[in-house]
Every structure is written in C-alpha cells, then in structure tokens.
Amino acid sequence: MPSVRIPPPYRGPSLGAAEVDVSGATIGECLEAVERKYPGFLAQVLDDDGNVHRFVKLFKNGEHVLRDPLRTTLASADDLEIIAAIAGG
C-alpha cells in the first residue's frame, strides 16, 4: 500500500501519527483514504474547490508533483510526502 507522510502541522487529526499506509491508486484516492481514517485531515490539504491548497506541496518518491497532482498514480511501493509551507516569521 502507498505510504503517506503527514507533516507535523497537520498531525492534529491523526493524533500525532506521522505516516500512514492507505489503499488508493492515485494521490487523490490516497488522501481520501487518510481522511476516512483521520477525519479533518483533508481540509488541511485541499481547498473548498477540491484543489490542493497553494501552501501545500506534494512529493512522490521525493519528486515534486506539479501537474494534476490528485490524478497522479501511486503504486503500492510509492510514498507520498506532504509538505506544508509553514514556519515562523
């Protein structure tokens, strides 16, 4: 199953869990699977229109996913890292 790494700022709904293995063939499906497990997670990643928040970046196996991220496929050995643009200031 693909692995989804949750950044520290978004670990409230997951009660601190940093990584979760979920079923899904695309990034979008995997994010929805995380939401089913940890309600409240998805709103941190997607905006009201269902697009990825501009302050969120997604990395598949270390590569920044720039085009059509939610439809990008994920195989069972893949990992998805979510990066949240958040720090001090």
Under 8 Å CB-to-CB from 47, ≥6 apart: which residues?
53
Dihedral (Cα; 67, 69, 71, 73), 10-degree rounding: 100
CB of 9 to other proteins, least distance (A): 4
Contacting other proteins (CB under 8 A), which of 39, 51, 55, 61?
Answer: 55
Q: Based on the shown chain and the rule CB under 8 A, indicate whether residue 8 belongs to the binding site for other proteins.
A: yes
Hey, what are 31's tokens? 């994010």
- The piece of 27-35, 55-63, 65-73 that touches other proteins (CB under 8 A) is 55-63
Segment holding 57, helix H or strand E: strand 56-60
Catalog residues that contact other proteins under the rule CB under 8 A: 8-9, 11-17, 43-44, 53-55, 57, 59, 64, 83-89
